[in-house]
Amino acid sequence: MARRLATVVLLAALLAAPAGAKPGATRLTIFAAASLTEAFQAFDANESYSFAGSNTLAAQIQQGAPADVFASASAQYTQDLYDRKLVEKPVTFASNRLVLIVPKSNPAGLTSVYDLARKPAKLVIAAPAVPVGSYTRTVLRKLGLSSVLVKVVSQESDVKGVVGKVALGQADGGFVYVTDVKPVAGQVVAIRIPAWAQPRVRYEVAVVSRSAHRAAARAWIKRVLAKPGQAALARAGFGKP
């Protein structure tokens, strides 16, 4: 009877484990920038992810949220946590660039980023504390288009919020990462931003100091930096570190 019960418990545990996970393997909790959603899930679907704006995730870690790894779309947040000794030394693992997206129907007739100043348009961007929101303001400043901020109708808490509103036609345009275009390619059109106006978008990752699985977290980061991780990021459109 005891043997039969043990077998049932073991089978239940195996069925509850993520597909592809090895029995007894540590399942890490990874806090990651929303723009990493598709890339990280394609790279390793066996971990537990929390995707959101990097600023939101950093605040949660400061408040003691249980995380093993923090991957940020801006070095600002990983470095701040490192200064507070809340994460181990961060490393850069990817880069990105911004584009302007418009709905497939393009009701405002936007064909250039400069059209934002010339035509009436409802613009959606991320909030200033969100990395992509900060990068957006840098782009507009470099292009001499800061005045178009008066056309902003919504400021989102992460980049996926911007993507969603444009894809649904709730805005005429929005600034996102180029990596966010592929998942909604049938719903939006991307408009290129000149290379000279691009901000330096650097992604950093670090082990959370409070993690009970720091060795496993370090090993996971090592995999992200190695060929399999870099290949998954490249397929999603990310640039090299």
- Are 86 and 106 within one domain? no
> Is residue 213 in a domain?
yes
CATH code assigned at 142 = 3.40.190.10
Domain extent for 115: 98-197
187 contacts 170 by C-beta, under 8 angstroms = no
Overall pTM surpassing 0.85 (yes/no): yes
How many domains are contained in the chain?
Answer: 2
Question: CB-hemisphere CA count at 13 Å for 231?
Answer: 6
- Are 178 and 110 within one domain? yes
The whole-number pLDDT of residue 1 equals 46
- Are 117 and 187 within one domain? yes
Per-residue pLDDT tens for 143-194? 999 999 999 999 999 999 999 999 999 999 999 999 999 999 999 999 999 9
Q: Please name which of 155, 138, 238, 133 lies closest in space to residue 193, comparing C-alpha atoms.
A: 138
Angstrom distances, CA of residue 217 to CA of 144, 176, 198: 43, 29, 32
